[in-house]
């Protein structure tokens, strides 16, 4: 039990522990959040409760939709090379960005919460179609609201997240709310998973490899896992960790997303100072793209940033007669010649002799490579077969 819970909160916590159905658990968490005192000693517990509440609501909504047979308007089927979602507070310019980039007709208003459901458009970036989704506005307490879990579930489903920040308002406050709400829903941006893996086994107790990276004893890890009802597991550690990292690794509801920040309304008074604040506080964690749609500044760099955030590369093929394909094939970053060959046709693998590469992944143009060669963005590949 967290420290310093008042008597009313302790009663609510017991109700939560005794709750059996999702509905009972949701009601108990809401009551507990309402009754407990908020201070530094309960901060982590509050975040855990919000995350659990969001997960339960999402599960309940999913179950209702499954029984009704109706697809949720918040469930967006992916298209193109990847799905990018615009997430921000109300009136930060999300709809205007979506319309500008994709030609969509998302409603733009000067009143709060104009967008109530996700809006979708396709950005054509160098012949690569990228699906851009505008999320309804995030707000403080969103994860615990009625539609909050659905909104956050849409963001969870995306391949990349664009945080839309209004430079004419409190930029640090905007980022704080967005990160807090996303983290409450188990969505972590531009962070690496902890360097630890816990794989449950049928027997053998707790086996730990890489204990030198843990500032403590084997017994501490074993006791921690036993308290979570894990008595047989292989724990692999490959860098410095704490028990909190192990706890995070065990949470299967946590997802890690690539993200960037687009700073809007850069043509308004005070925007330069706010942009500098944004850069100083979040410039190391996020690529930040200041734009002005009115003056059409920064747009091309922003589009490039969107593409890079997807972690994909464009590849072209060269046919006999030196004819280069008009449109690129899109593969994940780190793809090899073999991956490209599989995408094209089985015969390129079966009869493969070698390939010649024209681009950044080789030291000189036309270099001969094998199937294992790792390709780079905009490489041109010519296959030679037996």
Q: What integer pLDDT is reported at residue 40 of this predicted model?
A: 74
Residue range 7-68 forms a domain whose CATH class is mainly alpha
Q: Mean pLDDT across the chain, nearest whole number? A: 89
User: Where do the domains of the chain lie?
Assistant: 7-68, 83-191+254-309, 196-240, 312-385
Q: What integer pLDDT is reported at residue 70 of this predicted model?
A: 46
In the chain, pLDDT over 70 holds for what percent of residues? 95
Q: What are phi and psi of 266, to 5 degrees?
A: -75, 0
* CATH code for the domain defined by 83-191+254-309: 3.40.50.300
What tokens does 25 get?
């658990």
Q: What integer pLDDT is reported at residue 187 of this predicted model?
A: 92
Q: How many residues does the chain have?
A: 386
- Reported confidence tier of residue 266, pLDDT bands at 50, 70, 90: confident
Span 312-385 CATH architecture: Roll (3.10)
- Reported confidence tier of residue 169, pLDDT bands at 50, 70, 90: very high
How many CA atoms within 13 Å lie on the side-chain side of 317?
13
pLDDT digits over 123-137, tens only?
999 999 999 999 999
- Give CA–CA dist 2/383, Å, rounded: 63
What tokens does 169 get?
């308002």
Q: What integer pLDDT is reported at residue 111 of this predicted model?
A: 55
> Between 11 and 114, where is the model more confident?
11
* H runs (alpha helix) in 88-232: 94-102, 148-157, 171-184, 218-227
Lowest mean pLDDT among 62-66, 251-255, 344-348: 62-66
* Bridging pattern class, strands 187-189 and 255-264: parallel
Element (H, E) at 139: none
Average pLDDT over residues 341-345: 93
- Give CA–CA dist 293/264, Å, rounded: 8
Q: What is the CA radius of gyration of the chain?
A: 25
């Amino acid at each position: 039990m967290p420290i310093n819970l008042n008597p009313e909160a302790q009663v609510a916590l017991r109700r939560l522990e005794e709750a059996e159905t999702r509905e009972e658990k949701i009601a108990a968490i809401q009551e507990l959040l309402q009754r407990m005192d908020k201070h530094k000693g309960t901060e982590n517990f509050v975040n855990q409760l919000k995350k659990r509440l969001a997960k339960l609501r999402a599960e309940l909504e999913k179950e209702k939709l499954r029984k009704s047979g109706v697809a949720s308007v918040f469930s967006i089927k992916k298209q193109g090379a990847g799905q990018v979602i615009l997430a921000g507070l109300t009136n930060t310019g999300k709809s205007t960005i979506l319309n500008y980039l994709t030609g969509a007709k998302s409603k733009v208003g000067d009143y709060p919460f104009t967008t109530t459901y996700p809006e979708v458009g396709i950005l054509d970036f160098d012949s690569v179609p990228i699906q851009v989704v505008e999320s309804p506005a995030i707000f403080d307490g969103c994860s615990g609201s009625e539609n909050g879990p659905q909104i956050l579930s849409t963001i969870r489903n995306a391949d990349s997240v664009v945080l839309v920040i209004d430079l004419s308002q409190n930029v640090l406050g905007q980022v704080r709310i967005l990160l807090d709400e996303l983290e409450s829903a188990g969505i972590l941006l531009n962070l690496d998973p902890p360097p630890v893996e816990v794989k449950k086994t049928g027997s053998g107790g707790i086996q730990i490899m890489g204990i030198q990276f843990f500032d403590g004893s084997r017994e501490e890890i074993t006791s921690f896992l036993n308290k979570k009802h894990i008595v047989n597991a292989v724990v692999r550690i490959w860098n410095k960790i704490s028990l909190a990292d192990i706890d995070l690794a065990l949470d299967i509801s946590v997802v890690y997303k690539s993200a960037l920040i687009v700073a809007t309304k850069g043509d308004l008074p005070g925007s330069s100072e706010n942009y500098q604040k944004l850069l100083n506080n979040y410039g190391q964690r996020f690529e930040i793209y200041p734009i002005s749609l009115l003056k059409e500044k920064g747009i091309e760099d922003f589009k490039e940033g969107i593409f890079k955030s997807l972690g994909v590369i464009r590849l072209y093929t060269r046919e006999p007669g030196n004819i280069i394909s008009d449109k690129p094939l899109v593969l994940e970053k780190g793809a090899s010649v073999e991956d490209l060959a599989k995408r094209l046709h089985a015969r390129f693998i079966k009869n493969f002799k070698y390939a010649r590469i024209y681009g950044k992944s080789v030291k000189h143009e036309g270099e001969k490579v094998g199937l294992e060669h790792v390709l780079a963005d905009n490489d041109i590949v010519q296959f030679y077969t037996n």
